Amino acid sequence: MQFSSPVSIQWLSEFIGAKPIGNTLGNATGINEIHKVEKGDLVFVDHPKYYDKCINSAADFIIINKETNCPEGKALLIVENPFEAYCKIVNHFRPFQPSSSLISSSAKIGEGSFIYPNAFIGNNVIIGKNCIIHPNVSIMDYCVIGDNVIIQAGTSIGSDAFYYNTKKDREMWYKKMPSCGRVVIEDNVEIGANCTIDRGVSHDTVIGAGTKFDNLIHIGHDTTVGKNCLFAGNVIVGGCTTIKDGVVVWGGVIINKTLTIGENAVLLARTGVGGDLEGNKTYFGAPAQEAGIAKRELVWVKRIPLLWEKVMGK
What is the set of active-site residues? Answer: 221
Cβ(88)–Cβ(177) under 8 Å?
Answer: no
Please choose, from the candidates 80, 84, 59, the residue with its C-alpha nearest in 3D space to the C-alpha of residue 9: 59
Contact 211, 193 (CB under 8 A): no
Nearest to 230 by CA among 249, 216, 254, 243: 249
Task: Count how many residues are written for the chain.
Answer: 314
What is the b/e burial string over 221-255, where b = at least 16 CB atoms within 10 angstroms of the residue's CB? bbbbbbbbbebbbbbbbbbbbbbbbbbbbbbbbbb
Q: Is the sign of the CA dihedral 157, 213, 223, 209 positive or negative?
A: negative
Eight-state DSSP code of residue 200: P
Q: For residue 103, with 0-12 CB atoms within 10 Å meaning exposed, 13-18 middle and 19 or more buried, which class applies?
A: middle
In angstroms, rounded to a whole number, what is the distance separating the alpha carbons of residues 65 and 51? 10
- β-sheet bridge partners, residue 156: 138, 196
